[in-house]
A and B are shown apart, each in its own frame.
Chain A
C-alpha cells in the first residue's frame, strides 16, 4: 500500500503527462505481478463494488474523529470528497512499519459484505488507525468508489506499452471489459487470448474530437461519411459463441438492461461486433434523453417501461465480422458489410442503420448542423471514408460537430462555495428568470464556464453583496446577468421555474445587461415548445 500511495502522490503532484507515465512505469518495474494487476485495475477505474454504506462510513469516521455529525458534514462540504475529508479528519495514525499489500486490502474489502456491521466497522477503523494520511485517503477511496487517480486511461496504456514492450492499440484492447485481477496474471491479461476465452471483451471505442478547424480544411466532401449525431448511449454489441454482450462506452456491461437485444444472440452470426448508439426510438425518430435516463435508472424493467421507452441500436460501424477483427479495414469496407448485414431478411427490428446524409457541399452541412435540433439530433459526425477504426480519442479522421447550445440570460441570485475548492470561494451559482408576477424564480445551477479571474471578481462581489445566508448558501442582490448555455430543456414539476435543463453551464458574463433585461419564464416555456414541438 505504501508504494501505491507513493504512486498516487507522484501522479497527483505533477500536471505533466510524461512525469505521470514515468511514475507508473517505475511502479510497474518494482512491483510483483499481483500488485501490478490490482494497481492497473484501479488506475483504469476497474474497481471493486462498494462494500459498505456511505452512511456507515460517515458514522464511523465521525466517531473516530470525535466530532458531531453536523461538523463532519460541514467539513465534508468544504473538502468535497468523502474519502479525503475522512482521511484529513481522523486523528493522527499510530506509528506502524507494517505495510499492507494492496491486493490483500482489496480482497478483504471485497469480502466485507459478508461480515456483520460490527466486524465491518472493526476492520475499517483498524485500517484507519494504522495507515498514514495518504494511505488512508486511498484506502477510503477504494471503499467510496470514484477512484480517479489523475491519469487518463490513455496514459496508463502508454505506461503499460513501455513496460511490456507492446503497442498501445493491443494494450488498450486487452484492458477492455470487466476483467478480474484475481483471475489473471500479467501474462494471461496481456497475451493473445485463446479462442473463446475472452468472448466478452469489447474493442476500445474510437472517439471523436469536436471539430475545431474549418470545414473546408477537411477537403473534398465526398471523402466523408456524414451522419447524424444522436444523443443516446454509445454502445458495443457483441455476439460470440451464441452469447450476447452489450457494453456502454463507460465499460458497463448492460446486456440485462436491454432485453430488446436478447434475440440478437441467435439472429446475428457468431463473431459479430457492432458499434452504435443505443437510444429510445418510436415512430421513426428518437425519444428524448430523459426517457432514456428514466429507463436506465430502473432496477426492474416493467412491461410499461419497455413499452414507453423501446430501445434500438442505431448502428454505425462493424468492428468484427465472422470472428475477424476488421478495424484496420477502411470504413467504406466495414460500412458495406454493415449495410449488407442490416438489410438481410434476418435483420432484427432493434437494429437500425445510421444513415449517411448525401450533402453536396460543406455549406449544406453547416446549415443542417445549425438546425440539428429540428432533425432530432445534436449535430453531425464526420468520418473519413477510408479511415480505420482507431482506439481512444484521436484527431483527424473522425470529427463530431455539435450544434450550438440553447441559451438564456439569467440573474445570479444564490452562490455557494464550491466542492473541493477553496473555502470561501463562491463558485456554484444559481440563476433565475422573471415570472409573470415579476419575481425571480431559479431555473439553472451552474458551476463552470467562468475564468479564474472572473470567479475571483465575482467572489469578491458576492461577499460584499450578500443579502442572506442559509448554511453554506448566500443569496445576493440580483444584479449580474449571465448567459446560460444548455443542451436541452423540458417541462418539470420539480423545479420552481417549471423547467429542467440538460447540462447547464455559463457561456459568458453579460456585463452589458441589467437584471431586468434577463429572460422570463414565459421565454423558457416558449423555447420548450419551439425545441420539442
Chain B
C-alpha cells in the first residue's frame, strides 16, 4: 500500500505522502521537526498539537488540518489515523488501513515516558516502517528520571560555585521535556528566543512551561545562578557571552559516546534522547507483530540485517533522501 519514492513515503491509493521533502499536494506530517515537516505542501495533516508548531515554522497561512490521536479520516477507502509516538509534543505514528491490510509509519518515537508528550502506543500491523536513529546495541539510554536529577544537581552545584548554567537542547521537544523537570527553586530559568517561541505556540494548546525569554534589556545580574535553555546552534555564538561565567552542557542521545561528547566541546553531556534506544526499538518492532519491517532514518543496514537474521522478519533498509539531516540530533 505504501511506496518509497523520491518525494517521500507515498500511498498511491489515498494519494498522500508522509513527511515528504519535496512539495506535493497532500502531506501527513508526523511531527514538527524540520527534517519531517517541510515547506511548500498543498495541504498538511497532522496531530492537533503540531498545528501551531507548523504554523510557527512554515507560515500562518498554510492549509492545515489537525487530528486527535485515534481520530480517523478516509481517503479513497484508506482509513488513516494518527497515534501517539512519544517522541515530542504532537508527534504521531501514522496508521493506514485498506481492506484489512495495516501499515504503520512510526515517524520518530521513543517508548520511555518524558512526562510531556503522550506516551507511545504499540499498534499491531502487517507492515511497520521504523526509524533507526540509535539502532545499535551501544545505545542503551539511562532512565530519564536519573538524567533529570543529574541535571538539577549540576545546576545547583554550578550556582553554588558561582557559575551560570547553559543547557543546549533542541528548541522543540527536548527543551520542553527539560523545562518540565527543572527544580525551579534553584534559580531563575531563561529561554533563548527559539525556545520561547515554541513555548508560546504551544501555550494555545494548554501547555505551560517555566522560563522567561531573554531580551537585550535583561539585566545581567538577574542571570546569576540561573539556567538558560538554548538550541544547539547557540554553541560558540557571541549570544552566549552575556552569561559568563557559565558552564554549558549538551543534552542528546549522541552524548552516550565519549567521542561525541568531547567533540562538542561542552563541559557536560547529558544522555537524554527523544528517540528510542536499541532495547526500545526491538521492543517496539516486536509489539507490532509485523511480518515486514522497513527501516529508515539512521542505522538502516545493521538494524534491518539484525531483524532479518535474528528476529526472523522480512526487514528492508530504506534510504530516504532528506532523512540524512536530523535536526534534533545534536
Residues of A within 8 A of B (CB): 12-16, 65, 67-68, 70-71, 74-75, 78-81, 84-85, 88-89, 92, 418-424, 460, 463-464
Q: List 7 A-B contacts (CB under 8 A).
A: A15-B265, A88-B257, A418-B259, A420-B257, A422-B259, A422-B263, A464-B321
Q: Does B138 contact A (CB under 8 A)?
A: yes
CB distance from A490 to the nearest CB of B (A): 32
CB distance from A418 to the nearest CB of B (A): 8
B325 touches A75 (CB 8 A): no
B263 touches A460 (CB 8 A): no
User: Top 10 nearest A-B pairs by Cβ distance?
Assistant: A420-B259, A463-B324, A88-B138, A75-B138, A75-B136, A74-B302, A89-B137, A422-B260, A421-B259, A89-B138
B137 touches A71 (CB 8 A): yes
Closest A residue, CB atoms, query B309: A68
Residue of A67, A88, A418 with most partner-chain B CB within 10 A: A88
Q: Does B310 contact A (CB under 8 A)?
A: yes
Residues in B with CB closer than 8 Å to A418 are 259
B254 touches A423 (CB 8 A): yes
- Give a binary string over B177-199; 1 marks a CB under 8 Å from any A CB, 0 the rest: 00000000000000000000000
Residues in A with CB closer than 8 Å to B312 are none
Residues in A with CB closer than 8 Å to B267 are 13-16
Closest B residue, CB atoms, query A12: B258
A75 touches B259 (CB 8 A): no
Residues in B with CB closer than 8 Å to A67 are 137, 306
Residues in B with CB closer than 8 Å to A70 are 302, 305
Q: Does B4 contact A (CB under 8 A)?
A: no
CB distance from B146 to the nearest CB of A (A): 12
Closest B residue, CB atoms, query A420: B259
Instruction: Please give 8 more A-B residue pairs, beta carbons under 8 A apart, in addition to A75-B138, A85-B138, A423-B299.
Output: A65-B137, A74-B299, A79-B138, A89-B138, A421-B257, A422-B260, A423-B254, A424-B298
Q: Which of A16, A74, A84, A422 contacts B254 (CB 8 A)?
A: A422
A419 touches B137 (CB 8 A): no
Q: Give CA–CA (A267, B156) in the complex, Å.
A: 66
Closest B residue, CB atoms, query A453: B236
Q: Does B268 contact A (CB under 8 A)?
A: yes
Q: Does B296 contact A (CB under 8 A)?
A: no
Q: Does B273 contact A (CB under 8 A)?
A: no
Residues in B with CB closer than 8 Å to A92 are 140
B260 touches A421 (CB 8 A): yes
Known contacts: A14-B267, A423-B298. The answer to whether A78 contacts B309 by CB under 8 A is no
Q: Does B256 contact A (CB under 8 A)?
A: yes
Known contacts: A12-B258, A14-B267, A460-B325. The answer to whether A68 contacts B310 by CB under 8 A is yes
Residues of B within 8 A of A (CB): 136-140, 254, 256-260, 263, 265, 267-268, 298-299, 302, 305-306, 309-310, 321, 324-326, 329
Residues in A with CB closer than 8 Å to B265 are 15
A84 touches B258 (CB 8 A): yes
CB distance from B191 to the nearest CB of A (A): 25
Known contacts: A78-B138, A422-B260. The answer to whether A71 contacts B302 by CB under 8 A is yes
Q: Give CA–CA (A183, B299) in the complex, Å.
A: 50
B259 touches A13 (CB 8 A): no
Known contacts: A13-B267, A74-B136, A424-B324. The answer to whether A419 contacts B309 by CB under 8 A is no
Q: Give CA–CA (A75, B256) in the complex, Å.
A: 13
Residues in A with CB closer than 8 Å to B325 are 460, 463
Residues in B with CB closer than 8 Å to A13 are 267-268
CB distance from B15 to the nearest CB of A (A): 27
CB distance from A462 to the nearest CB of B (A): 9
Residues in A with CB closer than 8 Å to B299 are 74, 423
Residues in A with CB closer than 8 Å to B309 are 68
Residues in B with CB closer than 8 Å to A460 are 324-325
CB distance from A85 to the nearest CB of B (A): 6
CB distance from A81 to the nearest CB of B (A): 7
Q: Give CA–CA (A160, B260) in the complex, Å.
A: 30
Closest B residue, CB atoms, query A67: B137
Residues in B with CB closer than 8 Å to A80 are 259
Residues in B with CB closer than 8 Å to A65 are 137
CB distance from A59 to the nearest CB of B (A): 16
Closest A residue, CB atoms, query B134: A423
Residues in B with CB closer than 8 Å to A419 are 259
Q: Give CA–CA (A71, B260) in the complex, Å.
A: 20
Q: Give CA–CA (A339, B302) in the complex, Å.
A: 64
Closest A residue, CB atoms, query B310: A68
Residues in B with CB closer than 8 Å to A78 are 136, 138, 257
Residues in A with CB closer than 8 Å to B139 are 88
Residues in A with CB closer than 8 Å to B263 are 421-422
Residue of B137, B259, B268 with most partner-chain A CB within 10 A: B137
Q: Which of B256, B268, B302, B305 contacts A88 (CB 8 A)?
A: B256
B137 touches A75 (CB 8 A): yes
Closest A residue, CB atoms, query B302: A74
Q: Give CA–CA (A424, B260) in the complex, Å.
A: 11
Residues in B with CB closer than 8 Å to A12 are 258
Q: Give CA–CA (A70, B257) in the complex, Å.
A: 20
Q: Give CA–CA (A366, B257) in the complex, Å.
A: 45
Known contacts: A13-B268, A422-B263. The answer to whether A81 contacts B137 by CB under 8 A is no
Residues in A with CB closer than 8 Å to B329 are 422
CB distance from A26 to the nearest CB of B (A): 14
B324 touches A79 (CB 8 A): no
Q: Which of B140, B259, B306, B321 contacts A81 (CB 8 A)?
A: B259
Q: Give CA–CA (A424, B263) in the complex, Å.
A: 14
Residues in B with CB closer than 8 Å to A71 are 136-137, 302, 305-306
Residues in B with CB closer than 8 Å to A84 are 257-258
Q: Which of A15, A81, A424, A463 contacts B258 (CB 8 A)?
A: A81
